[in-house]
Amino acid sequence: MKKFEKFIFETYSFDEKSLKASFYYSFDNWSEIFEEIIDFNIKKHPLASYLSMRGNNIILNNFLFNLHIALWISYYKLFPTQILEVKSWYLNDEQIEFWEKFYRNWLGEFFIKNNINFSWLINFKNVWKVPNLEEISILNNYIEKSTNFTEWKNLLLWWGGKDSITSLSILNKQNKDLDLFVFWKIDKIKENTARIANKKILLVKRQLSSNLFKLNEKGYYNWHVPITWIIAFVSFIVSYLYWYSNIILSNEKSASEENTIWKWLKINHQYSKSLEFEQDLNNYLHNYISKWINYFSLLRWMYEYKIAEIFSKEKKFFKSFSSCNRNFKINKSGYPQGGALQKNKLWCCECEKCCFVFLILSAHLKQEELIEIFGENLFDKKSLEKIFRELIGLEKYKPFECVWTYEESLLSAKKAINKNFSWIVLENIKFEILKKFNTLNEEKLEEKLLN
């Protein structure tokens, strides 16, 4: 494995006819360049006629520049370096503080898994010593006046899982006009759930640099990326090109809870879905990109327990939805590899996320409904006992996955016991669960999680 000292943000480009953007990165002392392509041609757009105007070019360039800084993580994680050299434009001190804070927090799990000393990493350095003051003036004037935007259109990030379906259910009851937004690739989960919802999907396509996978094969580091973070900056450009002002996500309350603490750093697998990040991102968005774009989660105040209760009434989606993350892992071609979908299944019935959804829904559905959704009874699989113990809080820390708080999982397990579900796993840990309720009031806990 060759060692590098600097990761370099080279440049980016945008084709106004095809609406494809290209982003370029490199390591020092390495002859190859990473090129990532994002295709923003999703439908006829109102800005096409004046994209070539100079002021608008500066504004669009700023959107693209910030996406350039967001996309780099897919390549940087191959070999984390101390210096991050920015050639494509200029970051001021406050912007650098924002980016460094996010990446230190998100990369915490990566540092743990690979036993990397992070204290000296992630230091942004500008190549441009002074920004172009004329361009900054045009940009600041746009940001300040962008609050006058009046056409409030809604863009809902669509995964085809229980959370995004719950958001759609709430918005439909409020008679909100909206479009569904998907990044990278449409699979049958997203497609079928959107068809049931009678909504059209807007797809922004992504092409990862092919030499990324060559380095993975040579033994360089590999890890998942904060895809929600990347989608945020992609959606800002979609908002600018197609006039959407509300970007709606489906991140819930438990996304803000850390999995563990390592050294002095709180490690949260879902940091890019947390309230802290959402607040930081909106401050950055409104100060440096545009004031008329609103980025928020509709479910932020809800626990997963409440979301599961709402979703349990959306029975038309039961045979088409999935929240199994193994369906979205990336293959060597740079596309989600399908996971359970390759076996014509919606759920792998082996991972932490499958166990988590099975457990949370067990509090609100009948046993036969659960088995119809998953194809089998996960409570009867002895091989999953350790995962359920982690979810319920009987182990050292909860899995590094997008899962809930211990209180929610504990209450759901108690509800499954109350319903006399057929269980092998729950029978083995039943005593430990009931023991915890010696000091907990079941009714008060449920009231807290539903309000």
Q: Tell me the mean pLDDT in the region 108-118.
A: 72
pLDDT at 381: 94
Give 167 or 401, the one with higher predicted confidence: 167
Mean pLDDT, all residues of the chain:
86
Least confident among 37-51, 62-76, 128-142, 183-197 = 37-51
Least confident among 75-89, 341-355, 369-383, 424-438 = 341-355
Q: Answer yes or no: is pLDDT of 117 > 90.
A: no
Least confident among 23-32, 142-151, 159-168 = 142-151
End-to-end CA distance of the chain: 52
pLDDT at 182: 97
Q: Which of 104, 19, 34 is nearest to 72 (CA)?
A: 34
Q: Tell me the mean pLDDT in the region 274-300.
A: 94
Q: Answer yes or no: is pLDDT of 221 > 90.
A: no
**Amino acid at residue number 119:** S
Q: Tell me the mean pLDDT in the region 123-147.
A: 87
The tokens describing 445, both together, are: 């806990």
Q: Answer yes or no: is pLDDT of 273 > 60.
A: yes
Q: Answer yes or no: is pLDDT of 331 > 70.
A: no
Helices and strands in the chain: count of H runs, count of E runs: 17, 12
Residue 5 three-state SS: coil
Q: Which of 68, 84, 89 is nearest to 120 (CA)?
A: 84
pLDDT at 343: 63
**DSSP secondary structure string, 210-254?**
THHHHHHHTT-------HHHHHHHHHHHHHHHHT--EEEE---GG
**DSSP secondary structure string, 395-451?**
SSS--SSS---HHHHHHHHHHHHHTT---SHHHHHHHHHHHHTTS--HHHHHHHHH-
pLDDT at 238: 93
Helix axes 406-418, 304-311, angle to 10 degrees: 50
- The model's confidence at residue 278, banded by pLDDT at 50, 70 and 90, is very high
pLDDT at 216: 85
- The model's confidence at residue 401, banded by pLDDT at 50, 70 and 90, is low
Q: Answer yes or no: is pLDDT of 231 > 90.
A: yes
pLDDT at 102: 84
Q: Answer yes or no: is pLDDT of 268 > 60.
A: no
Question: What is the pTM for the complete model shown?
Answer: 0.90
Domain boundaries, the chain: 6-297, 304-450
209-218, 221-230, 341-350, 357-366 — most confident range: 357-366
- The model's confidence at residue 104, banded by pLDDT at 50, 70 and 90, is confident
pLDDT at 334: 47
pLDDT in tens, 239-250: 988 889 999 999
Give 388 or 403, the one with higher predicted confidence: 388
Indicate the length of the chain as a whole number: 451
CB 21 within 8 A of CB 14: yes
Return phi, psi of residue 114, to 5°.
Answer: -110, 5
pLDDT in tens, 37-66: 999 999 876 565 556 555 578 899 999 999
Q: Answer yes or no: is pLDDT of 116 > 90.
A: no
